[in-house]
Structure 1
Amino acid sequence: MDVLFQIRKDYLSNVAGDSIIVQNLRKQLIDLGVKVDIHTDERINLSKYDIVHIFNTIRVQESYQFMKHALSNHKKIVLTPIYWDLQNYLSETKQTEKLVYWHYSEKKRKFLFDHCDIYLPHCIGEAELIIRNYHNYVKYEVIPYGVDERFSMGTKHYLMDQYGIDNYILCVGRINEQKNQLGLIRALSNEKIPLVLVGSVNDKQYLKKCMKEVNGNILLLDNVKTSQLNSLYKSAKVHVLPSWIEYPGLANLEAGMAGCNVVTTEIGSTKDVFGEFVRYCNPYDEQSIYKQTMEAFETATNNIFRDYIMENYTWLKSAKKVKDIYLLLTEQKR
Structure 2
Amino acid sequence: MKVLYQIRKDFMDNLAGDSIVFLNLRKHLQDQGIKIDICTDENINIKSYDLVHIFNTIRTRESYGFMKNAKQHNKKVVLTPIYWDLRDYFTQTDQIVKKEAWEKSEDKRKYLFENCDMYLPHCEGEAELIRNNYRVNTKYVIIPYGVDESFKNGNKNYIRDKYGVEEYILCVGRIHHQKNQLNLMKAMSNERIPIVLVGSINDKRYYRDCMSQKKENIMILQDVKREALKSIYKGALLHVLPSWIEYPGLVSLEAGIAGCKVVSTEIGSAKEVLADYADYCNPSNIDSIYNAIMSALHKTSTTDLRNYIEENYTWHKIAKKAIEAYHSLI
Same fold, judged at TM 0.5 (above) = yes
AA matched with 2:323: K
Q: Report Cα offsets for 1:13-44 as digits up to 9, x if no partner.
A: 11110000011100100011000111111111
What's the CA shift string for 1:112-131, capped at 9, x where partnerless?
00000000000000000000
Q: Distance in 1 between matches of 2:67 and 2:223?
A: 33
- Residue identity in the other structure for 1:26: R
* Cross-structure match for 1:10: 10
Partner of 2:124: 124
Q: Secondary structure at the match of 1:47?
A: coil
User: Contact conserved, 1:191 with 1:216, CA < 8 A, in 2?
Assistant: no
Residue 158 of structure 1 aligns to which amino acid in structure 2?
Answer: Y
1:1-334 to structure 2, matched below 5 A, reads: 1-330=1-330
SS in 2 for 1:53: strand
In structure 1, give the amino acid aligned to 2:315. W
- For 1:31 and 1:120, the matched residues in 2 are separated by 20
Per-residue deviation, 1:186: 0.5
SS in 1 for 2:158: coil
- Once the two structures are aligned, what percentage of the paired residues are identical? 58
Q: Aligned pairs, how many?
A: 330
- Opposite residue 43 of structure 1, the aligned amino acid is N
In the alignment, the residues of structure 2 paired with residue 325 and residue 44 of structure 1 have an alpha-carbon distance, to the nearest angstrom, of 24
Separation of aligned partners in 2, 1:166 and 1:55? 39
Matched residue of 1:170: which SS? strand
- Aligned AA (1:309): I
Cα displacement (A) at 1:281? 0.4
TM-score, reference length from structure 1:
0.98
Cα shift readout 1:109-161 (whole Å, capped 9, x = no counterpart): 00000000000000000000000000011000011110000000111111112
Alpha-carbon distance between aligned partners in 2 of 1:192 and 1:301, rounded to the nearest angstrom = 21
**Residue identity opposite 1:71 in structure 2:** K
Q: Which runs of 5+ in 1 are unaligned?
A: none
Task: State which drifts further: 182-191 or 40-49.
Answer: 40-49
> Could you state the TM-score of these two structures normalised by the residue count of structure 2?
0.99
CA distance in structure 1 between the partners assigned to 2:118 and 2:244 by the alignment: 29
For 2:176 and 2:93, the matched residues in 1 are separated by: 12
**Structure 1 residue 203 displacement after superposition:** 0.4
- 8 Å CA contact retained: 1:121, 1:144: yes
TM-superposed CA distance for 1:298, in Å, is 2.5
Q: What do residues 143-194 of structure 1 show as CA deviations (whole Å, max 9, x unaligned)? A: 1110000000111111112211122100001110000000001001111111
Shift of 1:104: 0.3
SS of the aligned residue for 2:130 comes to helix
The list of structure 1 runs, each at least 4 consecutive aligned residues, that deviate by more than 6 angstroms after superposition, is: none
Secondary structure at the residue paired with 2:280?
A: strand
Please report how far the alpha carbon of residue 326 of structure 1 lies from its aligned counterpart in structure 2 after TM superposition. 1.1
Secondary structure of the 2:105 match is helix
* Partners of 1:75 and 1:226 in 2: CA distance: 36
Partners of 1:301 and 1:65 in 2: CA distance: 48
Deviation string 1:295-325 (CA, Å, 9 cap, x unpaired) is 2123232210000001110111111011111
Given that 1:242 and 1:281 are in contact with CA atoms closer than 8 Å, whether structure 2 keeps it comes out as: yes
Q: Is the CA contact 1:242–1:283 (under 8 Å) kept in the aligned structure 2?
A: yes
- CA distance in structure 2 between the partners assigned to 1:44 and 1:301 by the alignment: 51
Deviation (angstroms), 1:223: 1.2
SS at match of 2:47: coil
State the alpha-carbon separation in 2 of the partners of residues 182 and 137 from structure 1: 41
Distance 1:37 1:46 in 2: 11
- How far apart are residue 273 of structure 1 and its match? 0.6
Whole-Å Cα distance in 2 between the matches of residues 105 and 37 of structure 1? 28
- Give the root-mean-square deviation of aligned CA atoms: 0.8
Offset of residue 224 of structure 1? 1.1
How many angstroms apart in 1 are the aligned matches of 2:115 and 2:55? 14
In 2, distance between residues paired with 1:296 and 1:325?
38
Q: Displacement, 1:95?
A: 0.5
Long gaps (5+) in structure 2: none
